[in-house]
Amino acid sequence: MEKDKKKYTIEDIARELGVSKTTVSRALSGKGRIGRETVERVQAFVAERGYRPNVIARGLAQSRTYNLGLVIPMEDTDVSFFKECMGGICEKASEYNYDVIMAIMKEDRLTQLHRLVANHKVDGIILTRATVESGAVRFLKEQGIPFVVIGPSDDLEVMSIDNPNREASRELTALLLMKGLRRLSLIGGNSRHYVTQSRKQGFLDAHRDRGFHADDALIFMEVEDYRKAMWAVNRILLAESDGIVCMDDNISALVLGCLRERGVEVPDRIRLASLYDSHQMEQNLPPVTSLHFDTKELGRNACMEMLRMLGEELLQEPQRLNYQVILRESTK
């Protein structure tokens, strides 16, 4: 059943063609001076014989692996984010004849990452959000391994590929203002995080654009648990805010819970929107208006930046990252 697995090597090709390995190698890689005719002859022969060079051997000769490591956290709940992202990464990687090796990180343990690096199995590493806070960045810097981060980074030294949070937040906020809302409040988490700042900026941008003034008293940061959320919600209700913008879906869920406890109806009494969508927003009651980002493209872009760092010449520049405002019942 198994075909003769007589694997062709460059040597076989060279012999059968009556040229040297050097010539075959050059004809296939296109590097070095070589006759057009020879190139064609070799390529035709190789195509017919179905010969494909052994990428691993090539890698060894060039001290490369043509592998990218992708580190993802086992605990991340947003599975579809991760899958889409991976889809984009794999797609791009294969265009450049790279492969991607998975490293799954459990409870911030770096073991898998260490293995990958120690075994010399990858040329570079792509870190996804949430794997960043684990010491992975420090480790990779120390080792001098090229890496990029998908998601926001507070560290300016790292190459971070992220969604256009500021612009998107601005657009969603603008839409709410257009709907006639005038006393929007904003609830966010850790204000030292870069992502928090960008989303806040977008919120402010939208107000400024239309000549409105965002009320500082309606902006709440460091809201990270139910207690804090309830505190913010109470003040928001007292201040007669007409809409709440939450920075992400977790905060959104918290706030929705608070409003329910207080018996406040959404959207009738107050509108609600989220600056991030995790496929769960749709399931909420009521479904929450939110921003949707193109995760697959995010993955593609990250991969391209990684390849660029590795010295690959990009066939095309990364596309601008897109997003959509998805209007749902919570802002009806």
Binding site for its own copies (CB under 8 A): 1-3, 5, 7, 52, 54-57, 59-60, 65, 67, 70, 74, 79-80, 82-83, 86-87, 90-91, 94, 97, 99-104, 111-112, 115-116, 118-121, 141-144, 283
Scan for tokens 């990958």, then name that residue.
116
Secondary element (H or E) of residue 143: helix 136-143
Please work out the total of residues on this chain that contact DNA, with binding judged by CB under 7 A.
31
Between 7 and 31, CB nearer to its own copies = 7
Applying CB under 7 A, among 15, 16, 54, 80 the residue interacting with DNA is 54
Residue 34's CB is within 10 A of a number of other CB atoms, namely 16
Yes or no: say if 105 and 128 are a contact pair by the CB < 8 Å rule: no
Between 93 and 195, CB nearer to its own copies = 93
SS3 186: strand
Secondary element (H or E) of residue 293: strand 289-293
Q: Which residues pair with 325 in a beta bridge?
A: 291
Between 196 and 278, CB nearer to its own copies = 278
> Which listed option, its own copies, DNA, none, makes contact with residue 308 (CB within 5 to 8 Å by class)?
none
| Shortest Cβ 94–its own copies spacing (Å) | 6
| Shortest Cβ 20–DNA spacing (Å) | 3
Between 60 and 217, CB nearer to its own copies = 60
Residue 107's CB is within 10 A of a number of other CB atoms, namely 8
List Cβ neighbours of 69 (8 Å cut-off, separation of 6 or more).
100, 101, 102, 103, 113, 116, 117, 121, 122, 124, 125, 126
Residue 85: name the closest of 169, 149, 166, 141 by CA: 149
Tell me, residue by residue from 5 to 24, as one string, x for binding to DNA by CB under 7 A and - for no binding. Answer: --xxxxx------xxxxxx-
283 scored as a contact of DNA (CB under 7 A): no
| Shortest Cβ 282–DNA spacing (Å) | 49
For every residue of 2-34, DSSP letters joined together read --------HHHHHHHHTS-HHHHHHHHH--S--
> Which listed option, DNA, its own copies, none, makes contact with residue 23 (CB within 5 to 8 Å by class)?
DNA
Residues lying near DNA in the complex (CB under 7 A) are found at 7-11, 18-23, 25-26, 28-29, 31-38, 53-54, 57-58, 60-63
